[in-house]
Amino acid sequence: MFSKEEAAQIRKDFWVSFGKSFPRKWIKYNTQIKGFSFKFVAERKYAMVVLDIEHPDEIYNEVLFEQLQSLKTILLNEYLPEVIFDDAYALETGKIIKRLYVQFPEKFSIYNKNSWKACYEFFVETMNQFEFFYYEYEDYIKQAL
């Protein structure tokens, strides 16, 4: 395996390479909704694109998640047919959040550079679809608050 330092360098190389290969500004945390953010996730055994709902006030989390569930058919049929809605996703820290996500369908490891290119393409395609959906329904989603 890798030392802690080697593993950290590989993770850094992965993200630097992604940024250089696909230089653009993603929406990520700039949704203007507190606790509502898009993220790229790449770990030892999986990669995914996620929409996390983790507002400090649980009522806001419920309302936002319900608002997204009301758009579920549209999201599945027109944008991301593989999206998974999870109202109790457990983070590695043990914190439970609400998450919508699409998992990279191929075998992946951040430590295997041979899997990076396909993952990058998945990230771009999936995040683009998430962003198209969000921009189209942003006003409706914000109505929940």
Q: What per-residue confidence (pLDDT) applies to 80?
A: 98
CA distance 100 to 123: 15
Query: pLDDT-derived band of residue 135, with 50, 70 and 90 as boundaries?
Result: very high
Q: What is the mean pLDDT of the chain?
A: 95
Q: Averaged over 98-112, what is the pLDDT?
A: 96
* Tens of pLDDT, residues 25-63: 999 999 999 999 999 999 989 999 999 999 999 999 999
Q: Averaged over 108-132, what is the pLDDT?
A: 96
Phi, psi of 88 (to 5 degrees): -150, 60
Q: What share of the chain is helix, strand, coil (3-state, %, to 5)?
A: 50, 20, 30
Instruction: Judge whether 83 and 101 are in contact, CB under 8 Å.
Output: yes
Q: Averaged over 58-80, what is the pLDDT?
A: 97
Q: What per-residue confidence (pLDDT) applies to 145?
A: 83
Q: What per-residue confidence (pLDDT) applies to 96?
A: 94
Q: Is 41 helix (H, G, I), strand (E, B) or coil?
A: strand
Residue 47 pairs with which residues in a beta bridge? 42
Q: What is the DSSP string of 23-40?
A: -----TTTTSSTTEEEEE
Q: What per-residue confidence (pLDDT) applies to 2?
A: 79
CB atoms within 10 A of CB 74: 12
Q: What per-residue confidence (pLDDT) applies to 106?
A: 94
- Predicted TM-score (pTM) above 0.75: yes
Q: What per-residue confidence (pLDDT) applies to 144?
A: 83
